[in-house]
Chains A and B, each alone.
Chain A
Amino acid sequence: MSAKLANYLQKDEFERIRELQYAVDQFALIGLIQPHGALAHANEKFLRVSGFAHEEICKQPFHNLLCDESRKLFVEHVMPILSRGITWKGELCHVARNHMHFWTEATIVPILNADHSLRHYHFIAFEVTERKAVEQSLTNNSIFFTKLMELAPIGFFLADIDGRCTYINKIWSETSGCRLRQALGVGWLQAVFRDDRPMVEEAWNQFIQNDRAFNCEYRYQHGSDRIVWVVATAERVDFALNTRTRFIRVEKDLTERRENEQLINEQRAQIVAASKMSALGEMAGGIAHEINNPLAILQLRARQIIQLVRPDMPSIERLIQAAENIRQTTDRIAAIVRSLRAIAREGHGDPFLRTPIRALVDDTLELCAARFKSHDIMLRITPFSPHLEVSCRSVELLQLLLNLLNNAFYAVEHLQERWVEVGVHDRGDDVEIWITDSGAGIPPELQDKIFQPFYTTKPIGNGTGLGLSISRAVALDHHGDLWLDRECPHTRFVLKIPKHPVESA
């Protein structure tokens, strides 16, 4: 009875093992490796995946069926472990009959005899070629993008979720003069130029913590003597899980542009000076006239005094009158000289001061009224409130107005009808000064050109062609503007200047 039962159970167990083997054969690659490393047996699945016939691989050393790298691993690391009777687990790359590679995740189990000697090894594995392909393509992508960033001609800066630097490319390092070791974490801030650092730190924190846009221009202190300007913009990215990078910042070197801007500013200053001297030259005749007239008066009055000062002096009243007249005339000459000195001076660095329009207009007229008069050009000033004031650099506005009046002078000099009108209009926050002449306006095709530098209608030697472009730049500098009134039937330029100081952005 008991023998019968044992027999039955054995048969049952045998059946169960056969079933298990059948099931495992469906998905696992199975092999039997002899102690010296030759393959003794391979299951269907192994043969199907590798493409070999059983007789082709049997008795072959198992490591011959592996790719070079896995073979090295197998011979140097796996076999020594197995030979000590210890199970090994890991990934192996095999070479199929068609020379294609396939990957398995393998477990190799040593089976020992009763005397602890090795009987053989069981190789049980699952194919993971597809997973390895995905792994490989992820690695390739990552290498590809790093390469792109290294080759890009702009600075790349990556940061983790807390805004701490995790990557910089070569260009960033060259631009900032800061190496990765120094830049990591918050170290990069030390490379930012001292004066810009608080602004950059604040903007960066606002961007990281509050999602504010990060678009800044700032400087890096590159070594002790070089300043590099950059324009930077940053974006949040949500990469695959696990990676720490969350923010990408790109930076473009602006230094050349900035240096050009500075050069342009310096050249502009030189040009303003040149154009001023040119205007002065143009006015020299007029100014001679301005001073000649009062000098004639002085001569006349002096002669009068000589005649009057005699022992029998008929009228002391007339003597006093003549002396008073001399005093007034010298005052006038002093005023002309003051205006001349003002206009020859560089006024760009002056502070903005509240200045009465009346004084501006009067000072300007000091320098040109006589010339208008001697050429028989009527110069009209329409009445305006003496309390009107603007915030300005008076020297610059004086130059600007004189320039406009000079232009008007040239425009009407040879016309039948010769007049120039200066009008002042209160526009609430601004004051507009209109300079209108009797000319018929500027032809439409030239209207856009007149504000361009080096454009002039004057004969060679009479103008630099910079007057209007610089005048407009001065007006813009004052947060105002200068334009041609296209509606006016005559030629009219309008200068707009704010009454009160404007906070620059």
Chain B
Amino acid sequence: MNIIDRNNVTVRGQGSQPILFSHGYGCDQTIWRLVTPAFEQDYEVILFDHVGAGKSDTSKYNRSKYSTLQGYADDVIEIGERLEITDGIFVGHSVSSIIGILAAIKKPRLFSKLILVGPSPCYFNENDYIGGFTYEAISDMLRLVESNYETWAKSMAPLIMGNPDHPELAEELIENFCSTKPEIAKHLAHVTFLSDNRSDMPQLQVPSLILQCSKDVIAPETVGRYLHKVLKESELHIMQATGHCPHLSAPHETIEAIHHYLKQA
């Protein structure tokens, strides 16, 4: 299996410490383009596309393997092993931050630090847990995904992105959503929004930084605080940035926050 081909892995930068950037739902590695140049001087920047996204090998998409986030986490582990990464840094956005946590639980030596941008282990409200969505909302949303993916993408992107004063950001997200193969995008929407990985969270032994945006409708502040409570050795950083994609809407603040965290002993 050619992992590099499958996940369109690219490596750049002059440093020796590997830092792996993992994109979120409906995007690909180009979504990190405003952030990664700031790390190329001191790190070995590794980027990839999840199977089904960007320039990945979509022929490797397998519905049963990717029926849970663990399938994607296994891919991250395979990339790490193929590139002989140990004690690397993982930066994941949204669903990818959970994928990174699952990978780090299974292979604790792979990463020494995780940076979780807008993470959420569960999107629905349940008892005391406020995930942000009711069952019905999730159910309705997935019905819309199924029946009219494009409409869903167009209505969802501005909600995810926030920052209504910069409509071009949401436009980019819509474009990204719509460039993913619809069958794969629909399936991934199910897997993402129905995942409940809350019981996995306490198993993480690797230190992490939670980058929590303000006014994030996908991963509200309650979720960030919840994760900070259940993840051992986690730090919670509430960002000025709004929306769910600070790496696009507030790259400088995102870079600063990551740099600051990594420079700590």
List chain A positions with a Cβ less than 8 A from chain B: 69-70, 73, 77, 80-81, 84-91, 93, 103, 105, 132, 135, 138-139, 142-143, 146, 158, 160, 166-167, 179-181, 184-185, 187, 240-245
Contact = CB atoms under 8 A, between A and B. Distances in A.
Given A90-B64, A180-B82, A243-B59, A85 B11 contact: no
Interface string B1-40: 1101100111110000010000000000000000000000
B83 interface: yes
Nearest to B62: A135
A58 to B, nearest CB: 27
Given A90-B64, A91-B67, A240 B59 contact: yes
Contacts of B10: 184-185
Given A73-B68, A80-B196, A185-B10, A86 B138 contact: yes
Interface residues of B, number: 36
A89 B18 CA distance: 37
B58 interface: yes
B57 interface: yes
- The A interface is mostly helix, strand or loop, or mixed, namely mixed
Contacts of A243: 2, 5, 57, 59
B93 interface: no
A93 B139 CA distance: 25
A142 B84 contact: no
A166 B5 contact: yes
Interface of B: 1-2, 4-5, 8-12, 18, 44, 46, 55, 57-59, 62-64, 67-68, 82-85, 124, 135-136, 138-139, 142-143, 187, 190, 194, 196
Contacts of A160: 5
A187 B11 contact: yes
A86 B194 contact: yes
A93 B18 contact: no
A241 B59 contact: yes
25 contacts: A73-B64, A77-B67, A77-B68, A84-B135, A86-B142, A87-B139, A89-B190, A90-B63, A90-B67, A90-B190, A91-B63, A91-B64, A93-B64, A103-B64, A105-B63, A142-B1, A142-B2, A143-B1, A158-B2, A180-B4, A180-B82, A180-B84, A241-B59, A242-B57, A245-B2
Contact of A242 (B59, B190, B196): B59
Contact of B187 (A89, A158, A187): A89
Nearest to B59: A242
Given A89-B190, A91-B63, A166-B2, A184 B139 contact: no
A160 B56 CA distance: 12
B194 A185 contact: no
Contacts of B138: 86
Contact of A88 (B44, B63, B194): B194
Contacts of A77: 67-68, 194
Nearest to B8: A244
A256 B19 CA distance: 39
B70 to A, nearest CB: 10
A181 B58 CA distance: 23
Nearest to A128: B63
A41 B33 CA distance: 54
Nearest to B126: A84
A86 B46 CA distance: 37
A219 to B, nearest CB: 24
A352 B248 CA distance: 68
B196 A166 contact: no
Nearest 9 interchain pairs by C-beta: A91-B64, A166-B4, A242-B59, A91-B63, A184-B11, A90-B67, A84-B135, A181-B83, A244-B5
Contacts of B82: 180
B56 to A, nearest CB: 9
Contacts of B12: 185
A87 B62 CA distance: 20
A184 B9 contact: yes
B90 to A, nearest CB: 16
B135 A87 contact: no
Contacts of A240: 59
A84 B64 contact: no
A167 B135 contact: no
